[in-house]
C-alpha cells in the first residue's frame, strides 16, 4: 500500500512515532591535512589552533603540534566532523617538555576559514530530551558551542516509571543540531526551581533521558544499583594460568543497573595491573570504576564492564614485553584470551566481539596493550596506551610505528619527571601515525593523543587522563540508543513540528526523503513512517 492510501487511513493520528532506523554509532568525519612550510629555531615547532575541539577550541595549550619529518614542511592530519565550519591559524611555539602548556607562541599568517564536506546522509536534524521531574511545566535551557542558553518548554509524555505519583515524564523534541554536544539544565516555567541546582549537564547524545541526575540512552527502571565492585578487595577471585605457571587476581567492576537491566549486554575494558585500577597501589589508584560511574552518569561514556587482571610478581616486565624483545607477552596474552575472557564472558552479560573489547594499560601495560592490538587483531579493536615504556621494546617499536591495524588508539604521555615520561618517543610515534596525506591514524579519528602537562609517571597522572581515554574508546553514541530507536526519532518529524504525525505523511508524499538513512529514497522510507504512525498510539 503506497503512501497516499496511508494518508487516508491515518488521518486521525496525531502521535509521536516509533523509529526503527539504525542510528549511526559515530559521527562521520573528514580527514583534513594541515600543512605549512616554515623554518624554525631549535626548540620550536609549528602548531595549528582552531575554533573547534579537534583543534584546541581556541585554547593554545591544546593546539595540535605538526610533524616536521618533511622539514621545512610541517603537517598533521586531523579528522573533523562533516558539515563543520571552523577557523584556524598556525602558531610558532616552544615544544620542549614543560614548555608547551606555557608558551602562547607567535601567530603565523592570518586566520583561515574552512569547512568540511556536507554529510551525504545527514543524521536526524535535532536532539530529543526526556526528563522525569516532580515539577510541573518544566523548561529545558540548552546551548551548543558558545551560543547563549535558549528556552524550550517541555511537553508531557506520560506517567513516570519511578512509582512516585508526583513524578511526570516530559520531553522536548527538535532541539539543537544533531551530532554536536549540547549543554543544558532545567527550570520550572517561573525559573524558581532549577535542575541541577548549579552548573549544567553536557552530552554528545542526540536522544537521551534524564532521571535523578543521570543521563540514559534508554528509559531507566525506577531505581538502579550504582556501578560497583563485584569482588572483595581483600581477597579478589583468582584464575590459574598454565601459560604463566602463576595465579592472578581478577577484579570486576559492573556498571550501574547491571542487576536491574537483565537483558542488556556490555562492552568490556580489560586493564593490566588490576591491583592499581580500583584500589591504591604504590603510586595511587587509577580510580577506574568511579571515573566510569561519573562519565556514564553525565552521558559522556557508554556503560561498560571493567576487568582488572593483577600482576604483582617478579615477572611483570617479561609478561608485558613482546617476544621480539625477549619477553613472554605472547604467553600473557594467551592467558588473557584463553582463560580470562572466557571466564568473564561466561560469568557476565558481555558483548564478546572485538569492537566491544578494549585493552588498557600504562608504562609496560601500554606496551602489552599495543602488542595485543597489533599482533592479535581479532581480540580487541580499542587500545589504551598510557606513558608507554618505549625504551623496553627497541625491536617492536618500529613495527608499531611503521604499520597500520584496524584499531582505535588512545596514546598519551606526561611531560615531567624522569625522562619527561617518554614525551619525545610518544610524540615520535604520534608523528609516524598521523602525518602525511594518507595517515595511518588520523588524530581524533582513529587516534587520540594527549599530553598531561606537569604530570609524571604514576597512577595519579593516569587517573587524571583516564576520562579522555574512556570518552574516546567508548563514546556514548555507540550504545544502542533506545530513546531514538524506540521512542522518538527526529528524522520522521519532517516539518519540525515536534511530532511525527499526519502532516509528515503529506510532506513525505509531496517530496520523498531518505528517512531510514540508508543512502537511497525507496518505498522502505515510506514504510518506516507508516509503521511509526501505526505504533504511535501505544507509546503514550
Residue 142 belongs to a domain with what CATH number? Answer: 2.60.40
Q: Are residues 97 and 131 both part of a single domain?
A: no
Query: 521: Cβ–Cβ under 8 A, 6 or more apart, which residues?
Result: 512, 513, 514
Rounded to two decimals, the pTM is 0.88
Q: Are residues 348 and 426 both part of a single domain?
A: yes
Which residues of the chain, if any, have pLDDT below 70? 1-26, 120-125, 485-491, 496-500, 516-519, 531-540
Q: Which residue has the cell 578487595?
A: 233
Q: Are residues 166 and 249 both part of a single domain?
A: no
Position 13 in a domain: no
Mean pLDDT estimate for the chain: 89
Q: Are residues 350 and 248 both part of a single domain?
A: yes
pLDDT at res. 410: 98
Q: Are residues 459 and 352 both part of a single domain?
A: yes
Position 20 in a domain: no
Query: 261: Cβ–Cβ under 8 A, 6 or more apart, which residues?
Result: 218, 221, 224
Vertex 100, ends 99 and 102: CA angle to 5°?
65
Q: Are residues 404 and 535 both part of a single domain?
A: no
pLDDT at res. 202: 97
Q: At what angle do helices 523-535 and 502-510 cross, to 10 degrees?
A: 170
Q: Are residues 66 and 159 both part of a single domain?
A: no
Position 228 in a domain: no
Q: Which residues of 11-35 are buried (b: 16+ CB within 10 A; e: fewer)?
A: eebebbbbbebebbeebbbbbbbbb
Where does 38-84 show beta strands of DSSP type E?
Answer: 44-50, 64-65, 67-70, 73-81
**Percentage of the chain surpassing pLDDT 90?**
75
* Domain of residue 74, residue span: 29-111
Domain C-terminal end among 453, 478, 503? 478
Q: In whole angstroms, how far apart are CA 378 and each of 337, 356, 371?
A: 10, 11, 12
Position 1 in a domain: no
- Distance, in Å, from the CA atom of 64 to the CA atom of 78, rounded to the nearest integer, reads 9
pLDDT at res. 308: 98
Q: Are residues 365 and 443 both part of a single domain?
A: yes
Q: How many domains does the chain have?
A: 4
- Distance, in Å, from the CA atom of 241 to the CA atom of 272, rounded to the nearest integer, reads 15
- Residue 518 burial (C-beta neighbours within 10 Å; 0-12, 13-18, 19+): middle
Reduce the DSSP state of residue 304 to 3 states and report it.
Answer: coil
pLDDT at res. 23: 27
Q: Residue 447: which H helix or E strand, with range?
A: strand 447-452
Where does 188-346 show beta strands of DSSP type E?
Answer: 194-195, 201-203, 207-211, 214-216, 228-229, 238-241, 246-254, 268-272, 305-309
Reduce the DSSP state of residue 449 to 3 states and report it.
Answer: strand
Q: Are residues 470 and 495 both part of a single domain?
A: no
Q: Residue 483: which H helix or E strand, with range?
A: helix 482-486
Helices (H) and strands (E) in the chain — how many of each?
Answer: 12, 26
pLDDT at res. 100: 83
pLDDT at res. 523: 85
Query: 295: Cβ–Cβ under 8 A, 6 or more apart, which residues?
Result: 301, 467, 470, 471
Q: Is residue 434 within 8 Å of residue 447, measured between CB atoms?
A: yes
* pLDDT (tens digit per residue) in 403-413: 999 999 999 99
pLDDT at res. 11: 37
Q: Are residues 146 and 283 both part of a single domain?
A: no
Amino acid at each position: 500500500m503506497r503512501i497516499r492510501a496511508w494518508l487516508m487511513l491515518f488521518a486521525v493520528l496525531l502521535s509521536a512515532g516509533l523509529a526503527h532506523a539504525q542510528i549511526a554509532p559515530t559521527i562521520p568525519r573528514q580527514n583534513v591535512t594541515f600543512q605549512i612550510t616554515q623554518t624554525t629555531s631549535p626548540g620550536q615547532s609549528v602548531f595549528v589552533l582552531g575554533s573547534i575541539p579537534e583543534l584546541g577550541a581556541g585554547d593554545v595549550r591544546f593546539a595540535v603540534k605538526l610533524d616536521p619529518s618533511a622539514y621545512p614542511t610541517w603537517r598533521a592530519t586531523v579528522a573533523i566532523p562533516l558539515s563543520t565550519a571552523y577557523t584556524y591559524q598556525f602558531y610558532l611555539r616552544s615544544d620542549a617538555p614543560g614548555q608547551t602548556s606555557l608558551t602562547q607562541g607567535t601567530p603565523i599568517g592570518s586566520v583561515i576559514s574552512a569547512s568540511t564536506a556536507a554529510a551525504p546522509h545527514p543524521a536526524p536534524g535535532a536532539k530529543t530530551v526526556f526528563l522525569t521531574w516532580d515539577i510541573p511545566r518544566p523548561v529545558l535551557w540548552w546551548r551548543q558551542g558558545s551560543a547563549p542558553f535558549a528556552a524550550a518548554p517541555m511537553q508531557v509524555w506520560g506517567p513516570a516509571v519511578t512509582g512516585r505519583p508526583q513524578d511526570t515524564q516530559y520531553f522536548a523534541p527538535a532541539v539543537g543540531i544533531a551530532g554536536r554536544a549540547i549543554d543544558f539544565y532545567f527550570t520550572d516555567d517561573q525559573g524558581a526551581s532549577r535542575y541541577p541546582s548549579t552548573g549544567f549537564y553536557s552530552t554528545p547524545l542526540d536522544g537521551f533521558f534524564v532521571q535523578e541526575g543521570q543521563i540514559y540512552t534508554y528509559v531507566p527502571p525506577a531505581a538502579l544499583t550504582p556501578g560497583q565492585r563485584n569482588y572483595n578487595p581483600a581477597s579478589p577471585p583468582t584464575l590459574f594460568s598454565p601459560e604463566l605457571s602463576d595465579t592472578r587476581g581478577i577484579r570486576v567492576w559492573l556498571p550501574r543497573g547491571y542487576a536491574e537491566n537483565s537483558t542488556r549486554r556490555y562492552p568490556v575494558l580489560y586493564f593490566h595491573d588490576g591491583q592499581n585500577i580500583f584500589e591504591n597501589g604504590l603510586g595511587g589508584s587509577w580510580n577506574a570504576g568511579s571515573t566510569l560511574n561519573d562519565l556514564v552518569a553525565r552521558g559522556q561514556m557508554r556503560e561498560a564492564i571493567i576487568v582488572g587482571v593483577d600482576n604483582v610478581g617478579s615477572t611483570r616486565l617479561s609478561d608485558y614485553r613482546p617476544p621480539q624483545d625477549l619477553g613472554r607477552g605472547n604467553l600473557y596474552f594467551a592467558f588473557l584470551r584463553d582463560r580470562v575472557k572466557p571466564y568473564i564472558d561466561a560469568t557476565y552479560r558481555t558483548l564478546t566481539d572485538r569492537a566491544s573489547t578494549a585493552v588498557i594499560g600504562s608504562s609496560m601495560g601500554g606496551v602489552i596493550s599495543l602488542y595485543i592490538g597489533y599482533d592479535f587483531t581479532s581480540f580487541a579493536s580499542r587500545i589504551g596506551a598510557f606513558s608507554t615504556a618505549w625504551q623496553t621494546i627497541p625491536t617492536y617499536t618500529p613495527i608499531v610505528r611503521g604499520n597500520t591495524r584496524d584499531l582505535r588508539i588512545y596514546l598519551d604521555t606526561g611531560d615531567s619527571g624522569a625522562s619527561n615520561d617518554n614525551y619525545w618517543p610518544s610524540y615520535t610515534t604520534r608523528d609516524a601515525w598521523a602525518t602525511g596525506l594518507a595517515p595511518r591514524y588520523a588524530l581524533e579519528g582513529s587516534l587520540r593523543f594527549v599530553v598531561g602537562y606537569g604530570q609524571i609517571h604514576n597512577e595519579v597522572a593516569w587517573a587524571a587522563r583516564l576520562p579522555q581515554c574512556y570518552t574516546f574508546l567508548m563514546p556514548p553514541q555507540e550504545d544502542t540508543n533506545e530513546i531514538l530507536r524506540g521512542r522518538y526519532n527526529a528524522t520522521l518529524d519532517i516539518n519540525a513540528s515536534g511530532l511525527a504525525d499526519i502532516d509528515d505523511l503529506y510532506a513525505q508524499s509531496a517530496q520523498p526523503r531518505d528517512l531510514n538513512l540508508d543512502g537511497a529514497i525507496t518505498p522502505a522510507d515510506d514504510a518506516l513512517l507508516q509503521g511509526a504512525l501505526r505504533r504511535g498510539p501505544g507509546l503514550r
